[in-house]
Amino acid sequence: MTPAARIALWADQIRDMTALGLRFSTSSHDRENYRRLQTMALEMMALAGGDDLAALEPLRETIFVRPTPMSVGDAAIIDEAGRILLIRRADNGLWAMPGGAIAVGETPAEATIREAWEEAGVRCEAVQLAAVHDSRLCGSLTRYHLYHFLFLCRPLEAEGTPGPAKHPQEVLEVRWFAEAELAGLPVDPGHISRIPVAYNAWRGDPRTYFDA
């Protein structure tokens, strides 16, 4: 783990502890100390990522209020011919499986199907939980700790033609790729190791991968 990654991890652990502290503490003194620790964690995140502190300040009201790691769902949509549907992300221009944060009130599978429709414009059904990955161990470029639920999905449209993404500010392009075309493709680091796991499930591996 690089020094920057270790600092980011420490910051996220502090974030987790302060979120729990602010949720349960009734002491005004303790709550103020937790808020000061949050500021320190934000400063550490900015240092680790080379970011402007002011740009991270909105995280205080979103990510920093959440205790425990955030959960996200990713859709490995593979058709009968073995093609996988990928999106090209607007934030870094790299290819990835569609997916996103699981909302309160959704199952992981429901969130994954919703994200596939919103980001790729394809309706699908989840057929197997292929893996649960830890963002620290699978190459994800994120400031905070995530659990990735990876579902093998089957497209419901007969032709599997992607529709327009509902959030074009997040997705530049949507395309099908044969497995052989993935070599050399600029894939998001957090998806490089997980796409082969999805193909293992598509080929009939019944096991669910998880980081021990």
> pLDDT at position 193, please?
95
In contact, 79 and 155? CB cutoff 8 Å: yes
> pLDDT at position 183, please?
94
Give Dmax over CA atoms of the chain in angstroms. 61
In contact, 152 and 126? CB cutoff 8 Å: yes
In contact, 15 and 38? CB cutoff 8 Å: yes
> pLDDT at position 158, please?
60
In contact, 201 and 148? CB cutoff 8 Å: no
> pLDDT at position 29, please?
87
Cα angle 7-10-13, degrees, rounded to a multiple of 5: 150
> pLDDT at position 209, please?
96
Domain 70-210 architecture: Alpha-Beta Complex (3.90)
Residue type, 42: L
In contact, 90 and 111? CB cutoff 8 Å: no
User: 209: alpha, beta or left, given left = phi > 0 and alpha = psi -120 to 50?
Assistant: beta
In contact, 141 and 8? CB cutoff 8 Å: no
Ordered per-residue pLDDT tens for the chain, 212 residues: 789 888 988 998 898 888 878 877 888 889 899 899 999 999 999 999 899 999 899 988 888 887 778 899 999 999 999 999 999 999 899 999 999 988 868 999 999 999 999 999 999 999 999 999 999 999 888 877 899 999 999 999 765 566 666 667 889 999 999 999 999 999 999 999 999 999 999 999 999 999 98
> pLDDT at position 165, please?
64
Q: What is the rounded distance in angstroms from the CA atom of residue 87 to the CA atom of residue 110? A: 19
Tokens of 155: 């497209």
Q: What is the rounded distance in angstroms from the CA atom of residue 139 to the CA atom of residue 96? A: 13
> pLDDT at position 73, please?
97
Which residue ranges make up each domain of the chain? 3-65, 70-210
Q: What is the rounded distance in angstroms from the CA atom of residue 178 to the CA atom of residue 199? A: 11
Q: What is the rounded distance in angstroms from the CA atom of residue 127 to the CA atom of residue 186? A: 27
